[in-house]
Amino acid sequence: MDSSAAASALRPVQIAGTGSYLPEKVLSNADLEKIVETSDDWITTRTGIKERRIAAEDQSTSHLAAEAVKKALAQAGVEAADVELIIVATITPDTLTPATACYVQKQLGCDRAVAFDVSAACSGFLYALELARTSVGAGAFQNAVIVGAEKLSAYINWEDRNTCVLFGDGAGAAVITPATADSGRVLSSQLGTDGNQAELLSIPGGGSACPITVDNASERLATLAMQGREVFKHAVNAMKRASIEAIETAGLQSSDIKLLIPHQANLRIIDAIVERLEIDKEDVFINLNRYGNTSAAAVAIALDEANRDGRMQRGDKILLVAFGAGLTWASAAIEW
């Protein structure tokens, strides 16, 4: 989906504040060596990941999300009571229903807000951004909060070395409001989906297609299953295409991009995209070494860290791009 045609009819929106939250517990590659047959060397050379965060037992996805939202609201100067829309992107909801966004609303006292979840895996935060951009842009809401939040550790088979080394927990959030004369703005946004490749990356059990029963409980079907090599190829191609679309739709060129914030799944995937887009490596934000792949939270956490580290100055053109299960992909060009 290319949003450019509709864009002109909408008022522009800005990212007014960002926030993120990472649980305290660190799980290093050395720790994983004690759990499955793997090595720091294998994980580092194949993925770039050195450690990831693991939420406490009593922390669910909504708790991580709420902490990130608090920081984003504080930075934006928006009161919880003035939030009108909360969209949580997650594949690890607190419960199948109600939506995790409802728990976030309750925890923060955003009593006026409409709250719901988006399930678009690692692209979820950018799907939420597009929903907020169009609904705030259309005038339906003034203050929207978008969140990417995951407790993936609850959906990992800790005996499967193919997946357990890759993922981590965390949350990132952004406040979306109408742009002002002296603020930045979202310039373009693209979403895409290919349901024909759904089986490449999924949590096969626990839904209506395959409920967890006493008979199948030992098969651990409610954990992430992935065909890594196939996903890798699709990720490189889709993220490259989506990046080019976002740049072109915004009327920009690769050389205009001051900072690329890609989905943080694998350093080799990022390197392949950067090479094809001809963007300098120094202009790419990377934190997957510290957090692993946090799915919908990854781009959101990276955006917040880039913001708070001063990596983005007013007027800079920023490119966000993500890819995940679905398959889904998404990109956005932003003037900071």
**Which residue number has the CB closest to ligand COA?**
228
Residue 145 as a binder of ligand COA (CB under 6 A): the answer is no
Distance of alpha carbon 322 from alpha carbon 241, whole angstroms: 11
Active site residue 122: yes
Distance of alpha carbon 120 from alpha carbon 304, whole angstroms: 20
CB of 203 to ligand COA, least distance (A): 13
Residue 137 as a binder of ligand COA (CB under 6 A): the answer is no
Phi, psi of 306 (to 5 degrees): -60, -40
- 80 or 166, CB closer to ligand COA? 166
Which x/- pattern, by CB under 6 A, does the window 94-133 give for ligand COA?
A: ----------------------------x-----------
From the candidates 263, 266, 287, 307, give the one annotated as an active-site residue.
263
- 44 or 183, CB closer to ligand COA? 44
Burial of 103 (0-12, 13-18, 19+ CB in 10 A): buried
Residue 326 as a binder of ligand COA (CB under 6 A): the answer is no
Residue 165 as a binder of ligand COA (CB under 6 A): the answer is yes
Distance of alpha carbon 35 from alpha carbon 55, whole angstroms: 18
Active site residue 237: no
Q: Which residues in this chain contact ligand COA in the complex, by CB under 6 A?
A: 38, 42-43, 46-47, 122, 161-162, 165, 226, 228-229, 231-232, 235, 265-266, 293, 323-324
Catalytically active residues are 122, 263, 293
